[in-house]
Structure formats: structure tokens, C-alpha cells
Amino acid sequence: MTIEDVLKQKFGYDSFRPGQQETIHSLLKGRDTLSMMPTGTGKSLCYQLPAYLMDGVTVIVSPLLSLMQDQVDQLKAGGEKRVIALNSFLQYEEKTRALLHLQHYKFIFLSPEMLQVQPIIQAIQRLTISLFVVDEAHCISQWGYDFRPDYGLLGDVRRKLNEPLTLALTATADEKVREDIKRQLCLTDPKELVFSVNRPNISMKAERMEDPLQKQKKLVELVRFFKKPGIVYFSGRKAAEEAVMLLKLNGVKKAAFYHGGMEAGDRLLIQHQFLNGELDVVCATSAFGMGINKEDVRFVIHYHMPSQMEAYLQEIGRAGRDGHPSIAVIFYVHGDERLHEFIAQSELPSCDQIKQAATQHQSLDQVEPPLTDIQKRFLEHYTKQAVLEGKRAESYILQVREHLLAKKAEKRSQMKEWIDSDECRRAGYMRFFNEEPSGQQQCCDRCGIDLAVYKENDQGNKPVKNLDWRGRLNNLLPGL
């Protein structure tokens, strides 16, 4: 059976999207592969299709529970029953039963943290693994925009699994990040496939505003104006929730919020409602969208400046996957970048927390203020690294913290420069990835775009009603 036969019979497609066929051919030749394909071009097919032409199990490492669950649901909807996600959604009895019968599954999804759990790695070691997939592989790299320490241990996991054929997938990784991915995964002479980050059917626009109140008014105007469905991204949970209140007050009834502070079941409900066309707008933090395969998203609005260009391109890439015209709009108020500075500081343990953990030799559960799960994993990982390198834990971890914060500050600066620049926005981001852009119509606000192309046919002209947010918004950290 040819790959074209499998494409038609298993997935119902007549042709491949750019990058898919090249990636699949590389794997079928038995070569480790790093493939960078833009968001919305069908990266999951690159491992799902060859899995049907290989004996054994395909193991997929994924960073988010929602991303795993979405991939599992898609496979099951296509008739594949031999699929499971080993995550916290499983009850203890279900997980125990699954580990005893893993050989009966074709696709196994899990997080990098799960692969550090001894019973799980032992169960995986007993399998015949035909393909080891690292999705969102930029998370491996300390230079990437979503660094996860447990991703950095996947090279050791590969060795424990006898170095199976490996596919690393990412949407936005510059040359430095790609080199880091190959090194961390211990890949030998991998095939590197890099495809353009450009999505020509997505127009881009940036709007500078005087204050948060102006943002609120513009948000309502654009959401009512644009064709639906759409996604609005926020840097804070509270801002996402309050925006839904504002939109509903102004007639956008099919709106809902989504963020990491919600119960897992509630998040899944919002995802399914959005995928099934029951919602027009989702107001979300960056926790929403990864792996959600909805082709007809017509607009993406960033209410706050994104933390960096790579994350921005990931998020706007969720629009226009059907190839039809779509638009991405970014709002900016002076000081937005300080919110990301605060978030970056809070994601990592403070200097005092590092000192407590390193010098008092106390349990991480005794550190004050209490550590988040991410902060605990950070401290555990770099404490081990300090021991391996023969360095004092406190000074070593403080240096790592300073380095990561400096990199995030550099990324914020690049994003701000892109917003402020007078040049073509597409040219700006393509140059960031060492690409040469080609001219096109409906490009960006610098080159000229006709917003009527994106207008909802039945949009009304009602005046915008404002919520009394002035007293509740923190001007220093808008949206927090």
C-alpha cells in the first residue's frame, strides 16, 4: 500500500499539504527527522500516516493535556480504537489496566514528565517502538519560547528506549533552536526539513491605543465587525473572563473564556463547543489552541502584546487553515510588555526561594512562599544539573534564572520593535527566520489592507456599551 493509498483510505485526503510528504518519506527511509512546518499545515499527519505502514507502536510526547486529548479524539473519530493518552485524566485503575495492555495500542500519547515515572518508562521499554515523536519540539531548547526542563531529558529517554526512529516537530524554531533540538535529542545525522513560516492568507494589523478603556471599545467593535469564529488572546486570566462579560453585554452572546485555571472538564467542554460551531468567540490565554484543528477561524486578536514573535506566529496560525482570507490584529498600550516581565519573573522561583531550597537543604514543600509545580520541577532539574557539573546549586541556579530572564527580555524587545517598525509586517517576521518575503495583496496595515474583506455580512451598528472597569484595572499590569 502506497502513502497515497493510506492518505485516501485512512484520512480521506487526495493530496498532501506542503511538508507532509517530504517528512513522511524521510521517516519511511528510516531516518531521524526534524521538521519545521507552520501552524495549521497538518503536522500530526506526519506521524499518524507512517504509523500505519510500520509494525509496532508510535509513542508521541506532547506538552499539554488538551493537545493530547484533542489528538486522541481525532484519531478515535476517524475509527482508530488503538489509541490512549497516559495522563491525569485516567483514574488509577484505568492507568494500571492500560500499563498492563500497552502492547495492544498503536498510538500512545504522554507528557515528558510521565516518561520520568519509573513504572511508565519500564512499561514503554517492553514495547516494540516503530516511531518516537516529539511534538512541539521547541520546548526542548533553552533558546525556545516555552522551555520545559523535562523535555531536556528526552535524549536520555531515547537511549533507554534503544534510540527508536525519531520525529521532532515544531512550527517556529530558528536555527539556534533547531540545533539545540538535535543535540538534546541526541539525533545522529537527522534529515532537517524547514518550510516557510509564511501564511499568505492571513493579513496582519497592529493598533496602538492610549489606555485599556480604548482597547475594550475596539475589541467590541472588531469582534462584532469580523466574520466568525475567532479567538482573542490575553496575557491574564481575569482579563479573558471580563472580556466575555463585555462582549455579551454588547450582543456577542456565543462567547466563552478559556484558561489554565479552569477545571480540565470545563476546558474540554469549551474546546468541543468551539470545534462544533457552538461558540463564535473564545477569549483565552495562550493555553488555548495548541492542537485544536478548526479550519474556519476567521480572526485572531491579541488584546495584549505577545511575549515573543514565535508565540505570536503560533497563535495567529490558528486562523485560516482552510486557506480562506483571515486576519490577525494586535493591540498595544504603552506598558503591555511589563505584564510579560511580571509573568516571566513569577514563572521561575524567586532568588529567595532558590536560596532556601539550595542552602537550607529543606524539602521543596517547605519553601516560602509555596512553589508552583513548574517552579518545583525547575529547581529539581537544575539542582541535579549543578551536581552533575560539580557546581554550587545556589549560584548555578541563580545564573540559569538570570540567563532565562535575559533571553525573555530580548524576545519582548524584538516583539516591541516589530510593532513599532514602519516596514512590512510580513517582511519583518520572515526576516526573523532568515526568509525573503514576496509581495502580495492584503498583506498588512503597512502595505495596505481592505478590512471589508473580513466583515460579517449581518454585523450591526449598535453603540458599544462599556463595563465599569476603570477601578478594577491595574494600569501598571493591564489585564492581570
CA distance 275 to 278: 8
Q: Which pTM value belongs to this model?
A: 0.86
Least Cα distance to 333 among 247, 462, 453, 213 occurs for: 213
CA distance 64 to 340: 21
pLDDT digits (tens, 9 = 90+) for 109-121: 999 989 988 999 9
Q: Please, which residues have CB within 8 angstroms of residue 119's CB and are 6 or more apart in sequence?
A: 99
For the chain, list the domains and their CATH numbers.
Answer: 3-194 (3.40.50.300), 197-480 (3.40.50.300)
DSSP notation for 230-266: EEEE-SSHHHHHHHHHHHHHTT--SEEEE-TTS-HHH
User: Contact, 314 vs 169, CB < 8 A?
Assistant: no
User: Contact, 205 vs 330, CB < 8 A?
Assistant: yes
pLDDT digits (tens, 9 = 90+) for 365-416: 889 999 998 899 889 888 988 999 999 999 999 999 999 999 999 999 999 9
pLDDT at 472 (0 to 100):
43
Cβ neighbours around 225 below 10 Å, total: 16
pLDDT digits (tens, 9 = 90+) for 167-226: 999 988 888 899 999 999 999 899 999 998 899 999 999 999 999 899 999 999 999 999
pLDDT over threshold 70, residue 460: no
User: Contact, 26 vs 193, CB < 8 A?
Assistant: yes
Averaged pLDDT, 304-327? 93
Cβ neighbours around 470 below 10 Å, total: 11
Q: Please, which residues have CB within 8 angstroms of residue 384's CB and are 6 or more apart in sequence?
A: none
Distance of CA 176 to the CA centre of its chain: 19
Is cis: bond before 463, omega within 30 of 0? no
CA distance 201 to 103: 43
User: Contact, 336 vs 318, CB < 8 A?
Assistant: no
